Amino acid sequence: MCMSADTESVTMDTHSKDAAADAYESVGLVPVDDSESEPDALEYPGDTSFINVEVANDILKWSILQDASDIAFAPNEAIWLRRHGEWVRITRRRLTTHEIGLLLDQFSKQPSASSQTKSGQDIDFPYEITLQRGKRARFRCNGTGCRDNWSQGIAIVMRTIPEFPPKIETMELPDYLVNAFKPKYGLVLVTGPVGSGKSTLLSSVLRDIAEKERKHIITYEAPIEFDLMGLPEKRSLVVQTEVPNHLHSFGAAPRNSLRRAGDVILFGEARDQETLRNMSIEAETGVAVYSTVHTNSVSETISRMVREFPENERDGMAATLVAAMRVIVHQRLVVRADGKGRVAIREWLIFDDHIRDILVKTPIKDMIPVTEDLVNRYGRSLMVDVTEKHEQGFISTQEFEMYQQIKSSSDAAGNSQPDYDFSFDEIPPLYHPDNVSLTD
């Protein structure tokens, strides 16, 4: 039975409010203390008395027009979307788990998807709708179990994905960093928190390669986000493989890729020992390998990756990763000063033989501070990028001062002084845009 917002506000008991709060948390939202679920700045204009897949598709199309990056469905909650980094409610009536379960089964094309979430398994899947004039809109989706009053509920979050990745020219990268992103062979990593645009940045690089070079590009993704195979102006052979639909795991991807004669290979994630070990070895055998890692800085990346291995293997694995590394870029997205969208802030370190020699000699315990020194001296630190974008008017003073405070706190905490027997002065200043040459 469908209930009006006014009726719901009367019958909503304290247990239901607790359920709504938990549903918020399950999709990363902050609960608001009201009982009528009034929309915020936006309100979907259509009928939402019952949400089936046809109505949901209309809501998704409308949300795209509102420049939404994410749409969330949670039990005992209105529908929410995220625009320019902020979550707002767009409907009045609260959803039921039954409605969300039906949507999940149909969105994912898995009739048992809702049952799987209730048994403790989350589900990742792509979803696509057709817009006007044959254009398509794509979403990266997740369904997860959550609390619904005192029973089992379901929450869905859908992230909007353009059909094709943006062109590299729109990413505001210096030319020498674009060159570093395209080595003949070696390992290229983009790091950052969830939702920081890591996959978008790498896909933009792959698009540039596909449109300008004659390569065989293979991707392993979960799920496939951008349509690289459908690029109308590509010169490369591109094949996209989805995990687990086309291949059962990322762990199987490195072995599989060795048999497919790829020149450029993207591993959507690198978390388990097998993937980390094999992709770093593959990067040293004439293949350009790309992947993403969830870390908070360039300096933490190698240390974080080797922690996946037993202690007695970490030094050897660190040396293998360093030998294969060509560039690490860390990226975050912050709200623009004018509130119109978000802007990327980045730090990076480009690896050449001198950088690799220093880090190969560095013990694991000193890897973070030594790498941080290298970033500050020969790369680009996050604070430098934040300062420049603040001076250009892209970042608000409040955002800038927050990063200043974080930097001051980090400096005050200090790190153990690294124990190394080499001088940074041994490294020539190769990283000026006029001097950089990275073709290996």
Q: What is the pLDDT of residues 157-172, one digit of tens each?
A: 999 988 899 999 999 9
Distances 14 to 11, 18, 21, 33, 244 between C-alpha atoms, Å: 10, 6, 11, 12, 41
Sheet of 264-267: strands edge to edge?
237-242, 216-221, 264-267, 288-293, 186-191, 325-335, 342-350
Q: Where are the beta strands (DSSP E) in 92-234?
A: 123-130, 136-148, 151-161, 186-191, 216-221
Antiparallel, parallel or unpaired: β 186-191 and 216-221 = unpaired
Q: What is the pLDDT of residue 32?
A: 38
pLDDT digits (tens, 9 = 90+) for 59-69: 999 999 999 99
Tens digits of residue pLDDT in 164-211: 999 999 999 999 999 999 999 999 999 999 889 999 999 999 999 999
Tokens of 306: 């080797």
Model pLDDT for residues 240-251, shown as the tens digit of each residue: 998 888 988 877
Q: Is the pLDDT of residue 439 over 60?
A: no
- The beta strand positions in 165-294, using DSSP E, are 186-191, 216-221, 237-242, 264-267, 288-293
How do residues 208-243 score in pLDDT, each as one tens digit?
999 999 999 999 988 888 899 999 999 999 999 988
Confidence of residue 274 (pLDDT cuts 50, 70, 90): confident
Q: What pTM, to 2 d.p., does this model score? A: 0.74
Least confident of 71-85, 102-116, 303-317, 424-438: 424-438
Q: What DSSP designation does 124 have? A: E
Residue 184 CB partners (closer than 8 Å, separation 6+): 286, 288, 439, 440
Contact 187, 321 (CB under 8 A): yes
Res 402 pLDDT > 70 = yes
What letter does residue 37 receive in the DSSP assignment?
A: -
277, 265 contact by CB (below 8 A): no
Decide which of 16 and 264 is more confident: 264
Whole-angstrom Cα distance, residue 219 to residue 199? 12
Average of pLDDT values for 109-118?
92
Residue 288 CB neighbour total at 10 angstroms: 25
Q: Which of 235, 222, 330, 351 has the alpha carbon at shortest distance from 284?
A: 351
**What is the H or E stretch that residue 334 is in?**
strand 325-335
Most distant CA pair in the chain: distance in Å?
75
The DSSP element (H or E) to which 347 belongs, if any, is strand 342-350
pLDDT surpasses 70 at 268: yes
For the ranges 17-26, 100-109, 255-264, 270-279, the maximum mean pLDDT occurs at 100-109
pLDDT tens-place string over residues 343-368: 999 999 999 999 999 999 999 999 99
Q: What is the pLDDT of residue 427?
A: 42
pLDDT of res. 168: 96
What is the band of 408 on the pLDDT scale with cuts at 50, 70, 90? confident
Please name the helix (run of DSSP H) or strand (run of DSSP E) that holds residue 350, with its range, or none: strand 342-350
- Is residue 430 predicted with pLDDT exceeding 60? no
Map out the domains of the chain with their CATH numbers.
5-161 (3.30.450.90), 168-426 (3.40.50.300)
Count the alpha carbons within 13 Å of 200 in the hemisphere toward its beta carbon: 20
Percent of the chain with pLDDT over 90: 62
- Pairing mode, strands 288-293 and 264-267: parallel
Label residue 432 by pLDDT band (50, 70, 90): very low
pLDDT greater than 90 at residue 132 = no
Strand locations in 199-319, DSSP E? 216-221, 237-242, 264-267, 288-293
Where residue 414 falls among pLDDT bands split at 50, 70, 90? low
Please determine, for residue 40, whether its predicted confidence score (pLDDT) is greater than 70. Answer: no
